[in-house]
Amino acid sequence: MKFLRNIFDNAHAKLNKSEKTKKLFPLVDSVDTLMFTPNHTTNGGAHIRDGIDLKRTMMFVILALIPCLLFGMYNVGLQHDLANSTIEWSSFDQFLYGLMKVLPFVVVSYGAGLGVEFIFAIKNGHAVQEGYLVSGMLIPLIMPIDTPLWMVAVSVVFAVVIGKEVFGGTGMNILNIALTARAFLFFAHPTSMSGNNVWISGFKEMKETGNLVDGVSGATPLGDLASFAQDQPAYSSLGGFIQDGHSFVEAMWGLYPGSIGESSVFPIMLGAIFLLLTGIASWRVMASFFAGGLVMALILNQFAGENAYMQLPAIHQLMYGGFLFGMVFMITDPVTAAQTTKGKFFYGFLAGFLGILIRVVNPAYPEGVMLAILIANVFAPLIDHMVISTNIKRRLKRVKIA
């Protein structure tokens, strides 16, 4: 380690000798801070209560995402195996296939995102910050597995440039970077982010070659319920959906088509426990987000009538799609969330409430969590402003009374 430390020290010394070489400082400094703890400590501002640095915070979130990444790799291979009539794989084969499919997403995400970060760092003459480390892992986990890699790269560049750099870089963005990338793809290339052909690896090819197992639709459970509840008698009641492999327990396991890392409850909850124990995520935001979704789902249950989608039990509703993933890893983003204590409750509740409302009321868009969190991001400053204004008015009344 001492030898490696000397290499970085010599590189820093040489770079500072001339104005031309100084431009390359961010490249060396970024690798230096990744390998070693920075030689300075945080002080003041948001860090006054804790000496933890930004790099360690980002690494904690990445560690919390590892269970979702590993599950996603296995599930990608499992769904391909179940849909392909020509293969019969072991669990190891399924995981290996998923690894080969998911790894390029991670490489492209980090390559495109950090590439943009380096360009802006060199242009502006500042060090590369660690903010994209988490976004680079989140983006692959919220993508359908059959999304073309070039689209992933374009969405990453758009999210980093328009979503973050134009606002001043890490810590200045008003929208979640990962969700900005997904929203860009959803509206720019909707057929690659929705429908029944993108959730299982190689689904379109299997359908064209006749290798697809009979009865496999390629839809996610939410998409399945939204479409079949309207078109086919078998799903005109909730019972048909539950009996067709969508029980509450199966919803928790998450072994069904969906975004790479969003479907299973168990790895998401492992990440939630880790983030809460380390103090990285806010329990107030998580709890209020869950409460908001639950309240909206219960309200919809009361007005369901014969609508099977609205009949889905409230707690069952929250297990599907990206709701829990959004609750743990998206809505808790400290940069785009509300900052006041009371504001966090309002902020989380608003996002959860809107997420289930958009999902159920708009059958053409069965996953509303992404849009709901982005809407909450926009309202976060207003929520904080209202909370602070209310506190000021309350204190002024106390002064007048005194």
Report the residue count for the chain: 402
pLDDT at 13 over 80: no
pTM of the model: 0.86
Task: Answer whether residue 188 is part of any domain.
Answer: yes
Residues 174 and 241 in one domain: no
Same domain, 356 and 286: yes
Alpha-carbon torsion angle 257, 260, 263, 266, nearest 10:
140
Q: Between residues 101 and 321, which one has the greater pLDDT?
A: 101
Q: Judge if 70 and 176 occupy the same domain.
A: yes
Is there a single domain that holds both residue 154 and residue 288?
A: no
Range of the domain at 168: 52-192
Assess if residue 251 is contained within a domain. Answer: yes
Would you say residue 119 lies in a domain? yes
386 with 281, same domain: the answer is: yes
Of 140, 170, 192, the residue at which a domain comes to its end is 192
Most confident of 5-19, 33-47, 260-274: 260-274
β-strand partners of 212:
84
Q: Are residues 180 and 228 in the same domain?
A: no
Residue range 31-79, pLDDT digits in tens:
555 555 555 544 444 444 444 566 677 889 999 999 999 999 999 999 9
The answer on pLDDT for 232 being more than 60 is no
- Asked if residue 276 has pLDDT above 70, the reply is yes
Q: Let me know if residue 164 belongs to a domain.
A: yes
In-domain check, residue 310: yes
**pLDDT tens track for 315-356:** 988 998 899 999 999 999 988 999 999 999 999 999 999 999
User: Rounded mean pLDDT of 127-154?
Assistant: 89
In this structure, are 239 and 371 located in the same domain? yes
- Kindly state whether residues 171 and 233 are assigned to the same domain: no
Instruction: Judge whether 4 lies within some domain.
Output: no
Q: Is residue 42 part of a domain?
A: no
> In terms of domains, do 259 and 394 share one?
yes
Give yes or no: residues 178 and 247 share one domain: no
- In the chain, the number of structural domains is 2
Final residue before a domain boundary, out of 149, 170, 192: 192
Asked if 240 and 388 sit in the same domain, the reply is yes
Same domain as 390, residue 250: yes
What is the average pLDDT value for the chain, to the nearest integer?
83
Answer yes or no: is pLDDT of 296 > 80: yes
Does any domain span residue 252? yes
Boundary of a domain, candidates 171, 192, 213: 192
